[in-house]
Amino acid sequence: MRRLTEQVLEHVAGLAEGVPISAKELLHLGSRAAVDQALSRLARRGRLLRAGRGLYVRPIETRFGSRSPSVESLVQAIAGSKGETIASHGAAAANALGLTTQVPARSIYLTSGKSRQLQLGKQVVEFRHAPRWQLAMAGSPAGEAIRALAWLGEAQAGEALHTLRRRLPEKTLHEIANARSRLPTWLAEQVSRLVVND
């Protein structure tokens, strides 16, 4: 019979980049205690990376050595495997839309799940629980704009909306306007004045 660590490695080799691995997913290979020990042993040997308590990822092998999987691939895999809605933080969205030159120093994402931190090599990835309206249209330009505006706050939202009106296509502006019923009153008022009243 093959060793448990070999079976775990064989299972992990078939996974896409960034897919998290936990002992519960490997119970078909052995008891919980044995699987936990095998995962821990593989992490000590550098064959797996420990991302959080009981959570591991496969390092990516390149011609220059191994590296951590990309943060984006980990985030997408977690969203898919746990059924969470995950979206970029407002600061990252504001930077991507050119509303601020401030570059976020940490990888922060908003989630419908619980708040937590994961370690991806030396990088910390933080997931913050957020209200549903901030997760609206996750992955779309309109959703990014809403999160950016929320992060900028009421004092800067009006000016930011003027900038977005020049930069975003009309379709995206209408998507933002159609989300008004889900937004806080201060943001819904700003969006109504700027986007709907052409």
What rounded mean pLDDT belongs to the chain? 88
**Does the pLDDT value for residue 188 go beyond 70?**
yes
Q: Give the count of beta carbons closer than 10 Å to the beta carbon of residue 153.
A: 12
Options 3.40.50.620, 1.10.10.10, 1.10.1670.10, 3.40.605.10; CATH for 4-67 is 1.10.10.10
**Does the pLDDT value for residue 69 go beyond 60?**
yes
**Does the pLDDT value for residue 190 go beyond 80?**
yes
The mean pLDDT value for 131-135 works out to: 93
The lowest-confidence range among 3-12, 63-72, 165-174, 183-192 is 63-72
**Does the pLDDT value for residue 80 go beyond 90?**
no
Which residues, in sequence order, are bridge partners of residue 110?
87, 128
Q: Give the span between the Cα atoms of 80 and 75, in whole angstroms.
A: 9
pTM above 0.85, yes or no: no
